[in-house]
Structure 1
């Protein structure tokens, strides 16, 4: 049985929009979610979020607050668990850069919250919920 893998996702708000990437790799290949990835040995949660944000999108950011943690499961065709990720969502402030898909992102773009709630956008599990939590935290902190 695989052990859970700690990873981060960067929740970036800028100009009343949220940054999402369409994932190239499991779990959730082809789905839209937040830029992120595994935490390297000796790396902080915040450091991993900022690094993954830059690697996947070219956006420079600053980690502000941990929002929440969610589970992501990668299962094979027989529904057998291959990997279990614990994704730690980090609210990040946009510093500079234009969103360009890189690393393991197929696409990158900025979305309004109402776009994230639309069923026409194929979202990874919990993306809309985490986005709402990030927006609430950002507005409370007056970012």
Structure 2
């Protein structure tokens, strides 16, 4: 027997979002976030899904909106939790981020939408401490690199 679907719209629920993970050669595409969560930190382009949109469509759309780069969705890598908290540590929003690996088609990154900056970074830059990274960026980049090697 299925549990009834709740109609209580006052109860907060997680928000579905995607991140586009794009490796080109020995570089990875990252953006510096302009909006919460993770303002000022470097991470993958991404954002909220639109109603009726597939994971792959959302990743390709967000990639283009934030960077002007065109890509093709290849596969889902993983799903992550991202929490937006206020100065007192109270939870404001909970995002479920689905990481979608994409293949580069065309374009060079130009920050737009809610990206402050955008650029290609050598994979070693993610480990040397020169960039302030969002949580799980290094781990997701390593997953993408491993998947690229296998495929």
| 2:142 counterpart residue number | 132
Per-residue deviation at 1:112?
A: 1.3
Residues 1:49 and 2:95 aligned together:
no
TM-score (norm: length of structure 1): 0.96
Q: Computing the radius of gyration over CA atoms, which structure comes out larger, 1 or 2?
A: 2
Residues 1:110 and 2:120 aligned together:
yes
Per-residue deviation at 1:9?
A: 0.2
The total of aligned residue pairs comes to 141
Contact 1:2/1:82 (<8 A) preserved: no
Moved over 4 A (4+): none
Q: Distance in 1 between matches of 2:57 and 2:78?
A: 16
Q: Distance in 2 between matches of 1:12 and 1:120?
A: 20
Flag structure 2 segments of 5+ consecutive residues without an equivalent: 1-10
| 1:93 counterpart residue number | 103
Q: Distance in 2 between matches of 1:120 and 1:138?
A: 25
Residues 1:77 and 2:92 aligned together:
no
Aligned-residue CA RMSD (Å): 0.8
Flag structure 1 segments of 5+ consecutive residues without an equivalent: none
| 1:3 counterpart residue number | 13
TM-score (norm: length of structure 2): 0.91
